[in-house]
Structure 1
Amino acid sequence: MNWEDFRQWGRRAADWAADYHAGLRNEPVRAQVAPGAVLSALPDAPPEGAEAMQAIFDDFEQTIMPGMTHWQHPRFFAYFPANAAPVSVLAEYFVSAIAAQCMLWQTSPAATELETRVCDWMRQAIGLPDGFTGVIQDSASSATLCAVLTMRERALDWQGNKAGLSGQPRLRVYCSAEVHTSVDRAIWIAGLGEENLVRIPTHGPTRAMDADALRAAIAADRAAGHQPAGIIACTGGTSAGASDDIAAVMDVAEAEGLYTHVDAAWAGSAMICPEFRSLWAGVVRADSVVMNPHKWLGAQFDCTTHFLRNPDDLVRTLAIQPEYLKTHGADGIVNYSEWSVPLGRRFRALKLWFLIRAHGLGGLREMIRNHVTWAQDLAARLEATEGFEVVTQPMLSLFTFRHLATADLDAHNQDLLNRINDDGRIYLTQTRIDGALVIRFQAGAFTATAEDVAMAYDVITELAAAGT
């Protein structure tokens, strides 16, 4: 393909994308294919010669698309959203066409300086004070890894990268059982070992980390000769929206001199609405905070904003400056590759800039408030319906429920969930609360309407009745 061919196919791609989204409500949300169906339809060996674009496009439509789960479907109520607002898709189109590698200021000054500006816009939008500085990471998993590496280096007086962990005291990091599994992976990759991730019991309706238990665990580790390194708190945990009492966690962290990271990957987007900020009261005292505009706000994946109270600690942990990465003759610049694990960096700031300008914070707030209201209404309807139990009350737009039966409740609800997802009109997932299997609902699709959420009630109750 040359650029003249691209002109034609680019128009076709834009038409296809618009048609795809216009017809999404008519498609089953989850892919309805058997394991291996797509693989078996693909040739075993790559082609030796060039193939016509029309043939490639036909195979894309006939082979690939039937095996895609539609994450942009307005009735995608599973996991968390991975929204892609049209303006964000358009911005990514431009990013792909420009194809810049934005690792240093000099490799694209506009990319670096726009990232600085839109991160500060997001800081203001979610109510963090002036002292925080932001960077765009690929995902919250990477931001959490950056935080754990910084915890490690601070605890070892910045000798971990140089001397390694051999012969050092065991470093301990504290969190609740409600944090995302990306925390486990960060602990593995940082070389701390899973046994040194200390799980603190939770309590109360928000399933918050018990601050007294946290304080006792730190004291016990110090007595055993271990080295506490940091605390990871969460706001809006993935399973059921668990939210730690950040202020109470910070009281302990400050008394113990520990680095703190707050994972608000999903729920952080809701903090553009001032009325929800009580959920993370005390966050202004944290060292590191992460939230994902690529979840609820509509900035196409991947786009994570990571805020730091003292970015020098992160740069000291990650920066490597060989001669070929130095920028001579320019003072006061920022090289964001020194703030993240990968050297290479995509121009992620452009889609966030387009998104905020095209929708405004007011438009994004309205969407989030609608989702929260609709989820609360659905939970109330299910709770008032005979045979249903709301297990965890809505945390923003996320809640869990189950259908009661005389049979094995776990098996019964897993069967109900399977039938719901095979039906195709909506898509839900499961989790476990205190060991019991429950069905998880969250409203967050960019194009969802009140009618879409109301349909979830119809589908759930209809299929529950059919299975009893």
Structure 2
Amino acid sequence: MPEESTDQPSDAITGHMSPEEFRRQGHAAIDWIADYWASLDDLPVRAQVAPGDVRHLLPASAPEDGEPFDAVLADLDRVVVPGLTHWQHPRFFAYFPANSSPAAILGDLLSSGIGAQGMIWATSPAVTEVEQVVLDWLAEALGLPEAFRSDGPGGGVIQDTASTATFTALLSALHRASGGEARRHGVGGAGWRVYGSTQAHSSLVKAAIMAGLGEDAVRTVAVDPATQAMDVDTLHDAVVEDVGAGLRPLLVHVAAGSTSTGAMDDIAAVAEAVRPWGVWVHVDAAWAGVAAVCPEHREHLAGVEAADSFVTNPHKWLLTTFDCSTFWVRDRAALTGALSILPEYLRNAATESGEVVDYRDWHPQLGRRFRAVKLWAVLRTYGLNGLRAHIRSGVDLADHVAGLVAADERFELVTEPALSLVVFRLRAGDEATMAAMEAVNASGEAYLSHTTVEGRAAIRLAVGSWRTTRADVERTWRALQEAAAAQA
């Protein structure tokens, strides 16, 4: 006789919830989130724990027997919340916002519940086609060129972050410039050169490292001290010098809203400066790009029609839960040529027909979740008018901050406000500037970050949370004034 199986039937596995239990716990989870939001105003913005504090509240090993989900929710309050820096807090101004609006959360929940893998069209056609349509909607709303639409030569895809988008753009540029040789034989000692300003995001260097070019392949270009935008004449001279030295210009990174100061490079001028050499123009508008839903805030994207690729992050300022980075290319052939691999187990009639898009070819990852649902939910429930109102509110609040800075003789603006970002400092110097910022952060009243501009320290205040009001801005400013007075 065959041996009796010792496997437990699936219904004996602890941890599986019945539909009724899932519904009950789901309601409890939503209630927890709503209560968390309601409590934020009374919580310190920055985490008030020391290294190891959270870890020491957790057992060293996972439980042998399952626990009720209620215990997980309880430990969120006991273990997790005290160790959080609250990114959804209305006085979180340290970095660009990471908005997680109610509609986006529900969209993300639906995506998790569906649990589909959208690596190729055939594995879930709706995952691909909803994403295509939603990105076409957003491209139109931002005023992007027709070539970026799904029915044109290019198209869009949702990446996890702008860092991955920059890496993907670099791989595409390599494929185009090498005629496919980089894919087949690697980069070797070809002497490729990548360009970005001193304000370019650090992901440009990381992309060069991951692509096998090495960080020395990245040539840093000086900026205009007043605007912090790339000096286009210096860029042109750098390319000419490199070509004369036998190097191969490959890609230029254009910052349309730099992290440090919100600097806006001149897209059209940069593209014209490198045009003779066929350099790939990648526009990084990770934070500021979404502001273009407002026609009056599109000036920083002037010239985008000359770009080969463009990225902006709805998960920053456009109310969409992380991760949702929207990336478009002018010509998808370079992108898919660089990244398309078709193992036998993914072959199918739809792919072979050439009539569908397989998004596995549009980024380094194979697996991909249904990110489009949350962006779809945001676009539909807010509408473009609601999104414009949100962006305009952030810009208005930043203008108010700039006015408060200008009215206090102890402070000065370092650069002109860039959309919803204000960069300023104490006239008393770096030590006083950093001390005032740290005092506000330590108090828990608000959370600010710093940068250096032309060698001097400055405070960054980035507005953009869906929960921030004028009262939050003024409360933060009062805390800064008190901290400044303490430095006198």
What TM-score range do you get, normalising by the shorter chain?
over 0.9
Displacement of 1:226: 0.9
Find the partner of 1:46 among 62, 73, 80: 62
**Aligned twin of 1:169:** 190
Matches of 1:383 and 1:193, distance apart in 2: 44
Cα deviation, residue 329, structure 1: 4.9
Q: Is the 8 A contact 2:405 2:411 kept in 1?
A: yes
Equivalent position amino acid for 2:125 in 1: P
Cα drift, residue 404 of structure 1:
2.7
**1:233 touches 1:260 (CA, 8 Å); kept in 2?**
yes
Displacement of 1:204 after TM fit? 5.2
> Quick check: 1:178–1:242 contact (8 Å CA) kept in 2?
yes
Q: CA-to-partner distance for each residue in 1:363-405, whole Å, 9 max, x for gaps?
A: 1111111111111121121122021111112010112111232
Give the deviation of 1:50 after TM superposition. 1.9
Matched, 1:139 2:139: no
- The reply on whether 1:384 has 2:413 as its aligned counterpart is no
1:300 to 317, 321, 328: 321
Instruction: State the identity %.
Output: 45
Counterpart-to-counterpart distance in 1, 2:306 and 2:187: 29
Alignment of 1:143-162 (within 5 A): 143-162=165-184
How large is the Cα RMSD of the aligned pairs? Answer: 1.3
Name the SS for the 1:19 alignment partner. helix
Structure 2 counterpart SS, 1:395: coil
- Superposed counterparts of 1:151-300, under 5 Å: 151-166=173-188, 168-203=189-224, 205-300=226-321
Aligned to 1:424: 444
Is the deviation greater in 49-58 or in 409-418? 49-58
Distance 2:112 2:76 in 1: 20
**CA deviation after TM superposition for structure 1 residue 237, in Å:** 0.1
SS at match of 1:151: helix
Q: Retained in 2: the 8 A contact 1:153–1:161? A: yes
Equivalent residue for 1:367?
390
How many angstroms apart in 1 are the aligned matches of 2:235 and 2:34? 51
**C-alpha contact 1:292 1:305 (8 A) present in aligned 2:** yes
Residues 264 and 290 in structure 1, CA contact (< 8 A), matched pair in contact too: yes
What per-residue deviation string (whole Å, max 9, x for no partner) do you get for residues 190-242 of structure 1? 11111110111111533221111111111111111111111111100000001
- State which drifts further: 448-457 or 110-119: 448-457
- How far 1:280 sits from its partner (Å)? 2.1
Report whether the alignment pairs 1:117 with 2:140.
no
Paired residue total = 464
Deviations 1:9-41 (A, max 9, x none): 111011111111122111111111112110111
Q: Does the alignment pair 1:5 with 2:21?
A: yes
Distance 1:388 1:435 in 2: 17
Q: CA contact under 8 A between 2:173 and 2:334: conserved in structure 1?
A: no
With 297-306 and 249-258 compared, the bigger mean Cα shift is at 249-258
Deviation at 1:158, TM superposition (A): 1.1
Q: For 1:243, what is the secondary structure of its paired residue?
A: coil
Aligned to 1:90: 106
Please list every run of 5 or more consecutive structure 1 residues that lacks an aligned counterpart in the other structure.
none
2:4 is matched with none
For 2:420, the aligned partner's letter is: S
Give the superposition deviation at 1:466: 2.8
2:487 & 2:75 partners in 1: Cα distance? Answer: 38
- Partner Cα distance (2:350, 2:89) in 1: 50
1:356 aligns with 2:379: yes
Distance 2:225 2:438 in 1: 31
- Does the alignment pair 1:126 with 2:148? no
Query: Partners of 2:420 and 2:67 in 1: how far apart?
Result: 47
2:6 aligns with none
Structure 1 runs (4+) deviating above 4 angstroms are none
Aligned partner letter, 1:389: E
- Counterpart selection for 1:76 from 92, 104, 119: 92
Contact 1:235 1:244 in 2 (8 A): yes
Q: Distance in 2 between matches of 1:292 and 1:358?
A: 18
Instruction: State the distance in 1 between where 2:268 and 2:320 align.
Output: 30
**Deviation by residue 1:130-167 (Cα, 9 ceiling, x = unmatched):** 1112111111011000011112222222111211122x
2:428 equivalent to 1:401? no
Preserved contact between residue 391 and residue 400 of structure 1 (Cα < 8 Å): yes
Q: State the SS of the aligned residue for 1:55.
A: helix
Pairing 1:442–2:442 present: no
CA distance in 2, matches of 1:175, 1:67: 37
Amino acid at match of 1:143: A
| Larger CA deviation: 55-64 vs 369-378 | 55-64
Match of 1:412 among 415, 419, 432: 432
Cross-structure match for 2:453: 433
- In the alignment, the residues of structure 1 paired with residue 327 and residue 474 of structure 2 have an alpha-carbon distance, to the nearest angstrom, of 35
Question: What CA distance in whole angstroms lies between the structure 2 residues aligned with 1:54 and 1:134?
Answer: 41
Structure 2 partner of 1:459:
479
List per-residue Cα deviations over 1:164-186 (Å, max 9, x = no partner): 122x4210011101011111111
